[in-house]
Chain A
Amino acid sequence: MRVVISGMGVISALGLDQQEFWHSLVNGQSGIGPIPHDVGPNPEMGMNQVRFKNGAAVRGYDPDSYFPRKALSFMDRFAQFSVIAAREAVTMAGIEWNDELRESAAIITGSCMGGRFTEEIGYWELFHHGRHRVHPLTIPLGMSNAGASHISMEFGLHGPAYTISTACSSSAHAIGNALWMVRSGAAPMAIAGGSEAPLFLGGLKAWEAMRVVSPDTCRPFSANRSGMILGEGAAMLVLEPLDRALARGAKPLAEIVGFGMSADACHVTQPSAEGAARAIRAALRDGGLAPEQVGYINAHGTATEVNDRMETAAIRMVFGDHTADLPVSSTKSAHGHTLGAAGAIEAVATVQALCNGMLPPTMNFAEADPECDLDVVPNHAREAKVDVALSQSFAFGGLNAVLAFRAWH
């Protein structure tokens, strides 16, 4: 059974909806800047104790314009983002709910940190203020499946709903699992994607301690790269069988044709090019694709030396001579590394590239790195009619997920 994407929603540092996201991406607008006080650690905790200052925060977001007050008290920021992205995706797809869909449509979300933003506020009271209790909603707000749960309640969906947490591959795994569920007939449609809100003090300090965060900006594949930039946001996609989408008069955005995953099984933070290459090959095999058919890759491209060189080596292993004709860009240079939401946000960028015949650029590219000798679509979007594109995610823990999409004509 062929499966298509019929709707997408995004909230990110590049704007509050998908149109703003794509417009910013192709016009080279960056979502990276100082983490605002109303997003990051509260003033009492203080951003001043974090060595880096920049992030890719969602700006101009007013929760009250999306949710009633009462509902907000039950939702961490990451869960709010999940529902907002899902609403946009479902509206775009033009889904009309009926009993059958409500009974069996699937929801699969990815998140790395879940609602730890809320947990931290509770623990701050406990550890710092010496209080003896935390808020009774700390558990339901903190749980990583809250995004999936709130989406199910939003639309009244009673079917399979669960959350995958595989660090930076979480939402790519979620979308891949959704593909397989819809393709097999296990679900008549799926809402899949990911959400993350990691710009809280403990999270920022934890990334700081790994010494992988840039003091200024994200320059994937550039010799003068200085590390990653953390970002927040969410993206959700609606997947359904091609026949069903056409029968109800929906316009598919792209076909989702392949999903591959692998485990490096070697080191918890050092990625393996062989592991990444196995996931890419698995996605091609699942989609019945030859390497030469791929015309664009949305890279994991974190802008750490270790990732960018490993990813380049993996692409060379799989694509060989075709690498010379294969544009590869990392949109993290604009929307930051959104961890568990990254696979979904980048899947949207990949589908948009196929829909619009336009490749989003790798921003902030300044100097070629001989060990990253790829066509990285530097700094400016490029017109290109591409038939098949990949979106790659390689997580800490060595867990890899790659999605393959085909343009819908």
Chain B
Amino acid sequence: MSETIQARVLRVIATTQRIPVEKVKPDSTFEELGIDSMDSINILFDLESEFDIEIKDEDAKKIQTIREMIDGVTYLVNSKQNPQAAGE
């Protein structure tokens, strides 16, 4: 089975933050993983590359948790694959 979106997001975060992927859980906080605002922007940049998506600045500013990263990426990937269903 191919890697899920969630697993790919967690892998990208681990790679960008240079930490073991086992440490990155959907409910980990930014603080636990040592993610500051510049780290978060780096992660979003790598997620855009990984999934070939574009995350808007307004959305990027709101993201405070790993879960929001997973949900946001999932939404954008689904929108790209199926524009009607996502209401775009």
A associates with B:
yes
Show the binding face of A for B, using Cβ within 8 Å. Answer: 51, 209-211, 213, 215, 227, 267-270, 306
A211 touching B60 by the CB < 8 A rule?
A: yes
B49-88 with Cβ < 8 A to chain A: 57, 60-61
Within 8 Å by CB of B41, from A51, A211, A227, A268, lies: A211
B7-29 with Cβ < 8 A to chain A: none
Which residue of chain B has the shortest Cβ distance to A208 in the bound complex?
Answer: B57
A270 touching B38 by the CB < 8 A rule?
A: yes
Instruction: Please tell me the size bucket of the interface on B.
Output: under 10
In the complex, which residues of chain B have a beta carbon less than 8 angstroms from the beta carbon of A213? 57
B45 touching A306 by the CB < 8 A rule?
A: no
A270 touching B41 by the CB < 8 A rule?
A: no
A269 touching B38 by the CB < 8 A rule?
A: yes
In the complex, which residues of chain B have a beta carbon less than 8 angstroms from the beta carbon of A51? 57
In the complex, which residues of chain B have a beta carbon less than 8 angstroms from the beta carbon of A210? 41
Within 8 Å by CB of A209, from B36, B45, B61, lies: B45
In the assembled complex, B4 has its CB within 8 A of some CB on chain A: no
| Distance, CA A51 to CA B60, complexed state (A) | 14
The A interface is mostly helix, strand or loop, or mixed, namely: loop
B41 touching A306 by the CB < 8 A rule?
A: no
| Distance, CA A269 to CA B38, complexed state (A) | 7
- Listed A/B pairs (21) with beta-carbon separation below 8 Å: A51-B57, A209-B41, A209-B45, A210-B41, A211-B41, A211-B44, A211-B57, A211-B60, A211-B61, A213-B57, A215-B57, A227-B57, A267-B36, A267-B38, A268-B38, A269-B37, A269-B38, A270-B36, A270-B37, A270-B38, A306-B37
| Distance, CA A210 to CA B57, complexed state (A) | 9
| Distance, CA A213 to CA B58, complexed state (A) | 11
Max chain B CB contacts within 10 Å: which of A51, A209, A210, A211?
Answer: A211
| Distance, CA A51 to CA B61, complexed state (A) | 15
In the complex, which residues of chain A have a beta carbon less than 8 angstroms from the beta carbon of B38? 267-270
Which residue of chain A has the shortest Cβ distance to B37 in the bound complex?
Answer: A270
| Distance, CA A211 to CA B39, complexed state (A) | 12
> Can you name 4 extra interface pairs (CB under 8 A) apart from A211-B60, A270-B36?
A209-B45, A211-B57, A211-B61, A268-B38
Which residue of chain A has the shortest Cβ distance to B57 in the bound complex?
Answer: A211
| Distance, CA A306 to CA B41, complexed state (A) | 14
- In the A-B complex, the 7 residue pairs with the smallest Cβ-Cβ separation, listed nearest first, are A269-B38, A211-B57, A211-B60, A211-B41, A270-B36, A210-B41, A209-B45
Which residue of chain B has the shortest Cβ distance to A227 in the bound complex?
Answer: B57
| Distance, CA A192 to CA B41, complexed state (A) | 36
